[in-house]
């Protein structure tokens, strides 16, 4: 039960869309795995104020900083500013204070309303524990023994975009609140270990749900549909 409450906590803070105001000032492209939402990372970094005052450095501590993208373990500017980097790459990013420590700053080191500059080196990238499939791969999955869970709300589902064979279990209401009976309905339809594909309208919410099932509930064989139903519409998918 503790895991479920933690799971819901992460959902609440991860569901909102992130701003895209981070600026990339300089970059050296790496040649390893790409940083995607919910990747686990080991990085080195130097954090500076706009006057170049260093307020933090993992190099000085001699330790990598380890975290996962997309679960609000770091400031919002990092959530978007590291996406697209590759293992072995370096990037310098400018983060406005709204996506850093906000109006109040942080302790004695970061004053209120401080814009920040980070030099970040990606040491290691571990892909998410769930698998991402595209619209064409979904067609193949529909001929296999996958359970397809459509987590959209009723207003998003209509007689023109119903997915054949999908089980409809709404995960969130219009305000982004998680439905507590989702788990019970899920267990009524899915056995532990079965292959499951979560589908949302645009793919973002289904990736959050898939990550929660893997990271917090230790589930296996979890997939999500990249670009969601919107992606299916683009390829003229044969809806019911």
Residues of the chain with pLDDT > 70, as a percent, come to 92
Closest CA to 7 of 178, 225, 205: 178
Q: Map residue 4 onto helix, strand or coil.
A: helix
71 contact partners, CB below 8 Å, separation of at least 6: 10, 13, 14, 38, 211, 215
DSSP state at residue 6: H
Which domains does the chain possess?
16-126 (3.10.50.40), 131-234 (3.40.250.10)
- Residue 206 CA to residue 132 CA, distance in Å, equals 10
Residue of 208, 213, 222 lying closest to 38 (CA atoms): 208
* pLDDT of 21: 86
The tokens for 17 are: 């869309």
Segments in the chain below pLDDT 50: 1-20
Distance CA 151, CA 169 (A): 5
> What one-character-per-residue DSSP string does 101-164 give?
TTTT-BTTTB-TT--EEEEEEEEEEE--SSEEE-HHHHHHHTTTTEEEEE---TTT--TTSPPT
Written as six digits, the tokens of 153 are 């709300």
> How would DSSP label each residue in 12-37?
HHHSSPPP---EEEEEE--SSPBP-T
Q: How far apart are CA 183 and CA 7, in angstroms?
A: 11
Which of 191, 208, 199 minimizes the C-alpha distance to 170? 199
pTM for the predicted model, two decimal places: 0.84
pLDDT per residue over 79-129, tens digit each? 999 999 999 999 999 999 999 999 999 999 999 999 999 999 999 999 999
pLDDT of residue 222: 97
Q: Vertex 195, ends 5 and 238: CA angle to 5°?
A: 110
- For the stretch 140-149, pLDDT in tens is 999 889 999 9
């Amino acid at each position: 039960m503790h895991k479920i409450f933690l799971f819901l906590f992460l959902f609440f803070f991860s569901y909102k869309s992130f701003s895209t105001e981070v600026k990339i000032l300089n970059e050296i492209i790496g040649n390893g795995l790409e940083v995607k939402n919910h990747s686990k990372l080991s990085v080195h970094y130097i954090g500076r104020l706009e006057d170049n005052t260093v307020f933090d450095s993992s190099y000085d501590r001699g330790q990598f900083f380890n975290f996962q993208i997309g679960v609000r373990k770091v400031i919002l500017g990092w959530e978007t500013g590291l996406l697209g980097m590759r293992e072995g790459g370096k990037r310098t990013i400018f983060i406005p204070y709204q996506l850093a420590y906000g109006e109040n700053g942080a302790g004695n080191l970061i004053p209120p309303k401080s814009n920040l500059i980070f030099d970040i080196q990606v040491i290691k990238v571990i892909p998410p524990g769930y698998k991402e499939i595209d619209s064409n791969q979904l067609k193949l999955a529909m001929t296999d023994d996958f359970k397809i869970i459509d987590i959209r709300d009723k207003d998003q589902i209509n007689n023109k975009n119903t997915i054949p064979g999908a089980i409809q279990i709404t995960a969130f209401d219009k305000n982004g609140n998680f439905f507590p009976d989702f788990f019970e309905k899920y267990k009524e339809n899915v056995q532990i270990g079965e292959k499951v594909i979560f589908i949302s309208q645009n793919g973002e919410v289904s990736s959050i749900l898939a990550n929660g099932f893997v990271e917090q509930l230790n589930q296996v064989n979890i997939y999500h549909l990249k670009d969601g139903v919107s992606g299916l519409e683009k390829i003229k998918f044969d809806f019911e």
